[in-house]
Amino acid sequence: MVPIPTSRDALFLDLDGTLAEIADTPGDVRVAKRVPELLARWTDKLDGALAVVSGRPMAQLLELLAPFEGAMAGIHGLERRFANGKTITAAPLPEMLYARRALQTFADSLSGVALEDKGSALALHYRASPEHGRACRDLAHEFGQGRLVVVPGKMVVELQPKGYDKGVALEAFMNEAPFANRRPFFVGDDRPDEAAFDYVNRVGGISVLAGPSVASTVAQYRLENVSAVLAWLEEGLSAPAEAEAIGGH
């Protein structure tokens, strides 16, 4: 059974694959109408200590989750919105300019491959043509050196500045009000979420994988899918919800 956050805890949630079903393209993703309300109710319960932490740009998060306007981190922490509404954004690195041109030319040459330009990061999506996945990953690794790193995900591979990941984003939130001195919970579904799972585990928090169990995860608990995550959030406002634990936790 996945523990339920109390009023003394902090809650961090991924978006795609956790609060919303993954779609063929990022633009096709839709958020259920009840999700912004759930986030608002949990924010009230936790006195503001809730944040959405996603690989998406913050502008997309604000659009998809409207009218929710609480704390959030976009592009794996390259963008961050504080609980008081203040925002910070990391400046794009010059190396991104050359990488952007090469990745765009590559994406234009292959059917089913699309480049998502996030400004401070780049993402090659190949869900529509999985057979091109290896070529996408190989190209990303050509640029993933120096100040850029490769971040693989579900049918996507990203390039972003070194030194940023979801674990770093969570730690930054936990060093400030209203998150400080609370036990962190994090729910995510993909490889980039492992950094957040690892951070949460190290500080005595609760890490929850959303989706199929995978041997490589360090998450302590599992919720079966997006529907299970939403049910956990809904039931957690009044009663505990059940879920499968990983590795005997």
Active site residue ranges: 14
Measured CA to CA, the distance from residue 119 to residue 97 in angstroms comes to 10
DSSP per-residue letters across 127-140: TT-GGGHHHHHHHH
Measured CA to CA, the distance from residue 216 to residue 213 in angstroms comes to 9
The CA-CA-CA angle for residues 6, 225, 22, to 5°, reads 115
DSSP per-residue letters across 191-242: GGGHHHHHHHHHTT-EEEEESS--TT---SEEE-SHHHHHHHHHHHTTS---
Beta bridge partners of 86: none
**Beta-strand pair 244-245/114-117:** unpaired
Query: What is the residue type of 95?
Result: E
Measured CA to CA, the distance from residue 165 to residue 188 in angstroms comes to 13
Q: In this structure, what are the phi and psi dihedrals at residue 65, rounded to the nearest 5 degrees?
A: -100, 5
Tell me the H-state helices in the chain: 34-45, 58-65, 95-108, 133-143, 166-174, 194-202, 226-236
